[in-house]
Structure 1
């Protein structure tokens, strides 16, 4: 049995998620997957989601003063990393994340819920690569 949050906690959950959604692309890139998942739960959060956002905010508080490090070792070598998590969401859809680096630090990152239902983790990976391919090609052509 999942316990839904009362109206006050629902508003606080929505407010905290919106703030994290604003801050994530501007410096907290490591939380993008978490925040992307939390945005799917804003309409009807439960106590489990409340625990997730509390943990997320504690992480933000603990890492607030860590510096962002960006360094390009070689502008000719693009390194894209992509992963998909199978059946992450309550509607049985998977989640895809990807990031681009030229050395140290992430230049481009993306995290999103897949639009298709997949039958296996391998299929989720293939759909994830397809979702990220546009950004991969764009970054290659942009740097040329």
Structure 2
């Protein structure tokens, strides 16, 4: 479903219960986020991940990761010189600030929710590659 700013609330995932796990289970591959709802200019995306995602950065926006099942590792190195690793387990979330280069990875499959502004390229600014997906793919 493409973005339609005049869409009725139910068409944007509003005024309804959304079963995130059921939505994720209907996705065939890994690293293929799908939009389940919008709030203002933000999208809520569900995704299954496993393995390593390429290092990338979002210069203009923060990115929120909410783990629903499994364990996600986010390695980061920022413009401030800070480097580190965040480990998220089911029920954990983290915000990667704009401008911070990061690499999510998972040894075993992880199911999670991403929260980011509409139009953000999943593989980072100016990126294109095998893990780059088209925006505004609804499920």
Is this a same-fold pair by TM over 0.5? Answer: no
Of structures 1 and 2, the larger Rg is shown by 1
Please state which structure has a larger fraction of its residues in strand.
Answer: 2
- TM-score normalised by the chain length of structure 1: 0.31
